[in-house]
Structure 1
Amino acid sequence: MSEQIGVGILGATGTVGQRFIQLLETHPLFYVKAIGASSRSAGKEYHEAVNWKMTTLIPDSVAKMIVHPCEPEYFEGCKVIFSGLDSSVAGETELAFLEAEFAVFSNAKNHRMNPLVPLIVPIVNPEHFDLIKQQRVEFKKSKGFLVTNANCSTTGLVSALKPLQDAFGPLSKVVVTTMQAISGAGYPGVPSLDILGNVVPYISGEEEKMEEEAAKILGTFSTNHIVDAPLAVSASCNRVAVIDGHTESVFVEFARKPAPSLEEITKVFENYVSEAQKLNCYSAPNKCVVVCKQPDRPQPRLDALLEDGHGVLVGGIRKCNIFDFKFTLLVHNTILGAAGSAIMNAEIAVKKGLV
C-alpha cells in the first residue's frame, strides 16, 4: 500500500492491547497513530505505563507515545479503532467512538449478540459485513460502524466447524470441552497457587459465550439481519497451566445421514479456503485449518504459533460412539482468538471498501 491507515488502540496497556501493538509493528496497511488506556495510565509515555509481557520489545514507534484517555477527541486522524478494553468499560466507550464516525473493531463481549452488530471470525464469516449497511441506517452513520470478533474459544471452534458446514450441510449437535491458556485471563490473571499443578474447571461466562456465539457466527445473512444456524452447542470450559493456546476436544453430529467419512472430513479441512485468503489479506494464513497427522498433536507448546497464530490446528479425527466423529483443535487465543482476528477483520473491511 502506498499510504498506511492510522489506527487507534483502546486498552493499549492490557494483554490484548499489547498483542495489537506487537502485530501492527510491521503491518503494511495499518500503523499505530494513537493509544488509549485508563486514567491510571493516561498522560504517561507508553513504556512507563505498560507492564509489557510480549516476547518482543516494545516497538520504538510506540514506546514514547503519550497514552490518552479513551475518548474520541484524542484519536483525531485515526480511521480505525481497535478495542482491547475490558468489558466493564467497553460498552459505552465503543459506542462513543461509533457515534464519532470511527470504524470500531472490538474484542470485548458487550455488543457481540446485538442483532445490528456483525460478530465476525475473519476466516469464517466475513459475508456478515453486509450487516453494516443496516447498522449505519439504524445508527444514522455515514462512515462509522462497529464490528466484534468472537470469544477466543468460540473462534477456534467455529473455524473448524465452518468447513464442515459448507461441505456437508447443517450440523445438529456439538459438544466441546476446552483446556484454556492462562493468557486468556489477562494479566496478572489467575493466581499461581490456583493454576500451577492444577486444572480450574470454571471460567466465568465462557460456556455461555461459546453456546450463544457459534450459532450467530455460523448463521446466514438475509436482507438486513443474521439468521442463526440451527446448531445446539454444549460447552465445558477449563483453565489449565498453559501460557498461550486453547485446546478443545470437539464432538460433532451432522444433520445429514449417513454422515461423511473420516477421509471426506479430513479432505474438507485440508482444502478449505476462506474469503480472507481470496482477498489476499496480509494476516490471512496460508492454511486456515492445518490437519495434524501425528496422533498426539496439536499441542499448544509446539503448535500454537503455526501459521503465525492465524489458523487453527486439528488432529485426532476419529469416529465417535455417540456422535458422528470427534477431534482435537488448537487456537492461539490472543492472536486468531483476539487481536489477530480484529486486525484481519479490519483488513477485510478495507478490501470491501468499508474503511
Structure 2
Amino acid sequence: MRNKYSIGILGATGMVGQRFIQLLENHPWFEIAWLAASDRSSGKKYGEAAKWRLEFPLPDRIANMTVSSAEPVGAPKIIFAALDSDIAKELEPKFAAAGCAVVSNSSAFRMHPEVPLVIPEVNAEHLHLIEEQSWRKESGGYMVTNPNCSAIGLVVALKPLEERFGIEQIFVSTMQAISGAGYPGVPSMDILGNVVPYIKSEEEKMEAETLRLLGRFEGHQVKPLSARMSAHCNRVAVEDGHTECVSIKLGKKLGRAATKEEILAAWAEFKPLAGQQLPMAPEQPVEFAPQDDRPQPRLDRNRGRGMGVTVGRLRPCGLLDWKFTVLSHNTIRGAAGAAILNAELLVSLGKLEPVTAAATRR
C-alpha cells in the first residue's frame, strides 16, 4: 500500500491501547497519527501519561506524541477504540456522528442490532449492517465491534464445525488470564494460588455473542444460531492466554455422527481469508496440538503472532458428542489484534474509502 491510512486510538494509555500501539507501529496499512485518553492524560507526552506495561519497548515516536482530549475535533477519520464500556457508550457515537469509522474493542454496542459484531474468518457478511446505521447515512461514519476475549477463540474453533456438521449444544468452562481484567487487574492476594469463579457479565456476554457471531445475516438483521449454550467463566493466575474446555453436540448435516478425523479435517482446512492477504490474519486460523497436555498458555498463546487459535485434547464426550480444549491470546486475538483485523477487512471491502474521502472534502 503506497499511502497509509492515518488512524487514532481512543483509550491509548490502557492495556489494550498499548497493544494497539505495539501492533500498529510498523503496520503496512495504518499509521498512528493521534492518541487520546482521559482528561488527566490530555496535554501530556504519551511517555509521561502512560505506564508502559508490555514486554516490547515503547517506540520513541509514540513516547513523544502529545495525548489529545477524547473529542472528534482534529481526530483522524479512522478510530480504534479501547474504552471501558461506560465511557464507550458516550464517546463512540460522538465519533461515528462526526464521520469517523469507529473500530471498537468495547462491549458497549456489540449487541446493538445495527452494529456488526465481527470476526473476519467467521462472519464477514455481517458488515452489511454498517449501511443500516444512522451515522453512516448522515455523516459517513459508522461503528464496528469485535467480540469479547473469551468468545473469540471459542467461535473461531467452532465455525468450521458449525459449517460442516451443524451445532446443537455448546458447553464451555473458561480459565481466563488476569490481563483480561486490564491493569492493575486482579489484586495479587486475590489471584495467587487461587481461582476466582466469577467475572462480572462475562458468561452472559460469551453466550449471547457466540450465538450471534455464528448466526446468519438475513435481510437487514442477524439471526443468531439456534443452538443451546452454557458458559462458566473463571479467572486464573495466568498472565496472558484464555484456556477453555469445550463440549459440543453436533448437528445432523452429515446424516450420521462425525468422526474424529472429519473434525480434525474441518479445522485443518479452515482458511476463509486465504488470498486476501490481510496483514494481521494468521495463515492457519485454527491449529491442532496433538500432544496430550496441550494447548498451554505459556507454550501456545503466540501461535500465528498471537492471532492463531490452538485446539487440542479432542476426544468423545460422555454427555454430548465431542470435547476439546481451546486457547487464544486474549489481548491480541481477543482484543487489539481482532480490531485491527476488522479494519483490514474494511479496507479490503472499500468500506474505509468513503470515510477518508468525506474527510478530504471537508
- Deviation string 1:49-71 (CA, Å, 9 cap, x unpaired) is 00101111111221111111111
The match for 2:132 is: 134
Tell me, yes or no, if structure 1 residue 92 matches structure 2 residue 93: no
- Spell out the pairing of 1:181-192 with structure 2 (5 A cutoff): 181-192=177-188
- 1:313 and 1:147 mapped to 2: Cα distance? 26
- 1:311 and 1:135 mapped to 2: Cα distance? 31
- Spell out the pairing of 1:247-258 with structure 2 (5 A cutoff): 247-256=243-252, 258=256
- 2:96 and 2:229 mapped to 1: Cα distance? 32
- Spell out the pairing of 1:283-302 with structure 2 (5 A cutoff): 283-302=280-299
- 1:292 and 1:141 mapped to 2: Cα distance? 49
- Spell out the pairing of 1:300-315 with structure 2 (5 A cutoff): 300-315=297-312
Aligned-pair CA distance for 1:142: 4.9
Aligned-pair CA distance for 1:278: 3.4
- Deviation string 1:230-287 (CA, Å, 9 cap, x unpaired) is 1221000000010000000000001215321111001110110123x33110111010
Tell me, yes or no, if structure 1 residue 245 matches structure 2 residue 225: no
Aligned-pair CA distance for 1:295: 0.9
- 1:45 and 1:274 mapped to 2: Cα distance? 41
8 A contact 2:268–2:286 mirrored in 1: yes
The match for 1:340 is: 337
Aligned-pair CA distance for 1:82: 0.3
- 1:162 and 1:231 mapped to 2: Cα distance? 13
- 1:153 and 1:56 mapped to 2: Cα distance? 24
SS at match of 1:68: coil
- 1:273 and 1:292 mapped to 2: Cα distance? 17
| Equivalent in 165, 168, 190 of residue 194 of structure 1 | 190
- 1:191 and 1:347 mapped to 2: Cα distance? 36
- 1:22 and 1:142 mapped to 2: Cα distance? 31
The match for 1:266 is: 264
**Number of residue pairs matched by the alignment:** 350
1:163 partner amino acid: P
The match for 1:64 is: 64
- 1:124 and 1:82 mapped to 2: Cα distance? 21
Aligned-pair CA distance for 1:42: 0.7
- Spell out the pairing of 1:1-355 with structure 2 (5 A cutoff): 1-75=1-75, 78-136=76-134, 140-169=137-166, 171-256=167-252, 258-275=256-273, 277-355=274-352
- 2:124 and 2:287 mapped to 1: Cα distance? 20
Aligned-pair CA distance for 1:139: 5.4
SS at match of 1:114: coil
SS at match of 1:67: coil
- 1:59 and 1:126 mapped to 2: Cα distance? 33
Aligned-pair CA distance for 1:213: 0.6
- 1:120 and 1:233 mapped to 2: Cα distance? 19
The match for 2:358 is: none
- 1:238 and 1:43 mapped to 2: Cα distance? 39
SS at match of 2:74: helix
SS at match of 2:41: coil
- 2:218 and 2:59 mapped to 1: Cα distance? 43
8 A contact 1:5–1:79 mirrored in 2: no
User: TM (normalized to structure 1)?
Assistant: 0.97
Structure 1, gaps ≥5 residues long? none
Structure 2, gaps ≥5 residues long? 353-362
8 A contact 1:210–1:233 mirrored in 2: no
1:216 partner amino acid: R
8 A contact 1:151–1:210 mirrored in 2: yes
- 1:341 and 1:221 mapped to 2: Cα distance? 20
Aligned-pair CA distance for 1:133: 1.6
1:42 partner amino acid: S
User: TM (normalized to structure 2)?
Assistant: 0.95
8 A contact 1:68–1:74 mirrored in 2: no
- 1:12 and 1:49 mapped to 2: Cα distance? 10
1:260 partner amino acid: A
2:114 partner amino acid: L
- Deviation string 1:271-314 (CA, Å, 9 cap, x unpaired) is 10123x33110111010001001010000001100110111000
- 1:244 and 1:124 mapped to 2: Cα distance? 23
- 1:279 and 1:23 mapped to 2: Cα distance? 19
- 1:42 and 1:191 mapped to 2: Cα distance? 28
- 1:179 and 1:141 mapped to 2: Cα distance? 43
- Percent of aligned pairs sharing the same letter: 51
Question: RMSD of the TM alignment (CA)?
Answer: 1.1
- 1:344 and 1:268 mapped to 2: Cα distance? 22
- Deviation string 1:107-137 (CA, Å, 9 cap, x unpaired) is 111100000000001221111111112225x
SS at match of 1:208: helix
